[in-house]
Amino acid sequence: MDLDLADRVFLVTGGARGLGRATADCLVAEGARVVLSGRSPESLEDAVAELGEEQAVGVVADNADPATPARLLSAARDTWGRVDGALISVGGPPPGGTLAVTDEQWTAAFDSVFLGAVRLGREIGAELPPGGALAFVLSSSVRAPIGNLAISNGLRPGLAMVAKSLADELGPGGIRVNGLLPGRVGTDRLAELDAASGDPDGNRQRAVASIPLGRQGEPEEFGRAATFLLSPAASFVSGAMLPVDGGMLRAL
């Protein structure tokens, strides 16, 4: 299938590593160009070097910074003269149960994970042309709580409803908005969460036992799903929340 991505330009927040980087790899492999953002200059430089400077540029930026959407849009237009969509990867809030997480942790996570993503979606979405697409990287916690991740359980479902609202508001202009719900995908973030459990191997084995496919996912498997949703090949898919979890979620 031709995804019709040649020469299209996408913003990818958190694009230097993890699920964002996996999506950037797939987009570039399909002929697209990407503007990557992240907080680490070194990681961004490495990512751009590996993807190729003709296909990628990096912008050091924090999702919580109100200036970030405009900076990313400007980078795309200054470099390639267009913007066709964005993958909004909002990162992972700190682990902890509801009884243990502090007000300060909730407030910090709200600014970066929730409000930062809302702002990115609102401001980028308003600038996209007909045929443009947004995809939010959320979590399986949109549909079922994950142990010891109270902040994610609280904020991700709200972001999913914001994405649905944006799909309604931007749809008449020919712009699509979707969400992705990754389960256990082998990233550094997943390794950190396993380590935080105090029993990394046991935690991993118990989690994999709940996945019908019998394994955790690879980042490139997520990247392919995200690339499809962003592409014109998914031109009649909007307002959807796509699990990428090997069948782990039991809810419809």
**CATH no. for residue 144?**
3.40.50.720
Q: Which domain holds residue 162?
A: 9-243
Q: Which H or E run contains 47?
A: helix 41-51
Residue 198 has pLDDT above 90, yes or no: no
Instruction: Mark out the alpha helices in 52-148 (DSSP H runs).
Output: 68-80, 103-109, 116-125
CA distance 102 to 81: 44
CA distance 184 to 175: 29
Residue 132 within a domain: yes
How many folded domains does the chain comprise? 1
Nearest to 85 by CA among 121, 48, 139, 112: 121
Residue 239: Cβ within 10 Å count: 15
Residue 229 has pLDDT above 80, yes or no: yes
Average pLDDT of the segment spanning 76-92: 95
Half-sphere exposure of 177 (CA within 13 A, CB side): 28
Residue 107: CB partners within 8 Å, gap ≥ 6?
Answer: none
| pLDDT tens by residue, 22-72 | 999 999 999 999 999 999 999 999 999 999 999 999 999 999 999 999 999
Task: Note the pTM of the prediction, 2 decimals.
Answer: 0.95
Residue 252 within a domain: no
Residue 227 within a domain: yes
pLDDT for residue 27 = 98
Residue 130 within a domain: yes
Residue 36 within a domain: yes
Confidence of residue 200 (pLDDT cuts 50, 70, 90): confident
pLDDT for residue 159 = 97
| pLDDT tens by residue, 114-147 | 999 999 999 999 999 999 999 999 999 999 999 9
What are the E-state strand segments in 104-246?
Answer: 133-137, 176-182, 241-244
CA-CA-CA-CA dihedral for 143, 170, 224, 68, to nearest 10:
-90
Residue 3 within a domain: no
